[in-house]
Amino acid sequence: MLNFLACVGAQSIYQFSESVTNNRDKFEEDLQNIFENVRDAAYHIINRKGATYYEIAMGVVRLTEAILNNESSILTVSCLIKGHYGTEDVYIGVPAILDREGVSDIIDLDLNEKVKNNF
């Protein structure tokens, strides 16, 4: 079983699914398919367009805007983790506040135990 940190309204995706479906196996299968599609998205883009550099360039533009405009935007960037999620000295993509100083703070996600252990 995969664990996603996603919300529909104010409910976790798991709470939401329990309120709208009684087929937990189908829900887990759908989540697995979503995970695989997101994970493999770059490969699909390369197969169709031959490259992903446009998307990379747009990401760099967005990060640059946040820094130059001192936006204090929450963006997912690779940061050095110093004690977050029980981990030290690892660079990993996490949501962080990005402003003129670079990463001014890392946003801690409320991860369940299974996700923390898999991390």
pLDDT in tens for each of the 119 residues of the chain?
A: 445 567 776 677 777 777 777 777 788 888 888 888 888 887 887 788 777 777 788 889 999 999 999 999 999 999 998 888 888 899 988 899 999 999 999 988 877 777 777 77
What's the rounded Cα separation, in Å, for the pair 104 and 77? 12
Instruction: Read off the pTM.
Output: 0.61
CA 59, 64, 65, 71 dihedral sign is positive
